[in-house]
Amino acid sequence: IDNNMEVKTLLIICPCLLLGSLGKPQFPEQEKEAKFWNAWAQKTLKNALALQELNKNKAKNLILFLGDGMGVPTVTAARILKGQLHGQSGEETQLEMDKFPFVALAKTYNTNAQVADSAGTATAYLCGVKANEGTVGVTAAAVRSQCNTTQGNEVTSILKWAKDAGKSVGIVTTTRINHATPSAAYAHSVDRDWYSDNEMPAEAVQAGCKDIARQLFENIPNINVIMGGGRKYMFPKNMSDVEYPNISKYSGCRKDGRNLVKEWTDQMKDKKAHYVWNKKDLLSLNPNNVDYLLGLFKPVDLPYHLERNLETDPSLTEMVDVAIKILKKNPNGFYLLVEGGRIDHGHHEGKAKQALHEAVEMDRAIGRAGLLTNIHDTLTVVTADHSHMFNFGGYTPRGNTIFGLAPMMSDVDQKPFTSILYGNGPGFKVVNGARENVSTVDYQENNYQAQSAVPLAMETHGGEDVAVFSKGPMAHLLHGVHEQNYIPHVMAYAACIGQNREHCYSSSGAATVNLAFSSIAALLTVTWLLC
């Protein structure tokens, strides 16, 4: 027993001794000085004190960045990865969202689920109403997959409120454009999986329920920018895909024979409207000559950022860049929904490297949006719909590659383990009746599936609160811990759209709006007195 204990102790201590004996400090030399930390804290304090002057301007523009499945552990790990991609240790790096002055927590549960899905949550942060899992754009009175519970239970989204107020509106996603997150912006469906009529039960079609792809074009006419995947759901069954003509699974799947893309281009022929399906055509557009853009870049979802074809597949940052340049031409401003949708897919597949690179790419897009807009008139919110059973730990030393091993062996099975682990998912593997020895596989490979505690074909969502980062007009209203459906109400209030508009015309509301009215009133009074 004593010998076994000595072996276990050495297994734990030796790697740590090795790290300590390399001679090179595991952190910057300046961090040894108290004055470094004190100066950093004082600078942060000074910035915090400046926030007492709250931005109460009217928000001309609204941008919501939604990292699908981007829980707090994902944010932290993405921060480290971003730094390490730039040759730093990573922990001290700032994500673009880290720079936002206000942070809140959102409670993500669905009306019928403790651990939420992406459809019910999308209804919350886009329509302002909590809903059942699996449903989009309807209240909790609607029952999943029951078509006859749709009518009378529809709720509208902030995208529609913005459109009705005369703003330009857009949706950009790395998933199908008719996937759960974007669909809540325009659709009313009791089933998130009704992508086209091909995926719907015959009785639902006969009862008059519309598939989500069709609703994209019919519910809110003239959405200015639509970019993502999902081509196959727009074309008649068996119609070959333009990019993959010989692959039947990517062919059109609509049973009604409609070509929704052709219908859109025909309808928009007298407007400055363009349909594109690849990066080259997208980036060749002059945004000044485009008022409407439909970009469908893949038959289903866009590829992971690490796997995309740099010649043909646009990045999220490139799509956001074009979208904002088109939308910002409207003097009334715009609303833009941006989804980093494949963070979620990477986690479901247990592929942490794919998920985290997706998160870093979304952060890059957030930075690009910041350069194209102004904090004085643009409210930008970054959040997630839900978390995942993803985490990292194991007493890793400073600068340890985020995809690397913990610096010790397990003192139970005497095998190494990666810092990143999943609570459940496809990474559960047993070799000869014991946990797989990760040192025998390439655990830094792009599609490596991190070990999980419980075997599942697909890893599940997590149930904890998610972060809500905000900057710009009225950003301070996103503070503390809130229900997720609070988010669009704040955004609408800031922009004077939707149901909260009284403050835009009264003496107690948004400063710039009231200031403008007060100035006009004063000017008229002086003019009247002089006359």
Q: Check if the beta carbon of residue 475 is closer than 8 Å to that of residue 61.
A: no
Name 439's Cβ contacts closer than 8 Å, sequence gap at least 6. 405, 415, 416
Tokens coding 241: 């895909």
**Could you read off the pLDDT of 199-216 as tens digits, one per residue?**
999 999 999 999 999 999
Q: How many helices (H) and strands (E) does the chain have?
A: 15, 19
Burial of 526 (0-12, 13-18, 19+ CB in 10 A): exposed
| CA dist list (Å): 307 to 166, 310, 313 | 39, 9, 10
Parse the chain into domains and list their residue ranges: 54-389+462-495, 405-455
Residues identified as active-site: 118
Residue 512 has pLDDT above 90, yes or no: no
- CATH for 54-389+462-495 is 3.40.720.10
Q: 110: which strand partners?
A: 113
* pTM of this structure: 0.92
Confidence class of residue 10 from pLDDT cuts 50, 70 and 90?
very low
**Could you read off the pLDDT of 466-497 as tens digits, one per residue?**
999 999 999 999 999 999 999 999 999 999 99
Residue list, annotated binding site: 68, 179, 181, 339, 344, 348, 385-386, 461
Q: Check if the beta carbon of residue 161 is closer than 8 Å to that of residue 493.
A: no
Write the DSSP string, 319-342: HHHHHHHHHTTSTT-EEEEEEETH
Residue 298 has pLDDT above 60, yes or no: yes
Spatial CA neighbour of 247 closest among 234, 257, 256, 238: 238
pLDDT at position 500 is 81
Tokens coding 448: 């490596």
Residue list, annotated binding site for Mg(2+): 68, 179, 181, 339, 344
Q: Check if the beta carbon of residue 436 is closer than 8 Å to that of residue 451.
A: yes
Mean pLDDT of 247-252: 98
pLDDT at position 42 is 97
Q: Which H or E run includes 420?
A: strand 420-425
pLDDT at position 40 is 95
Residue indicated by tokens 């659709």: 187
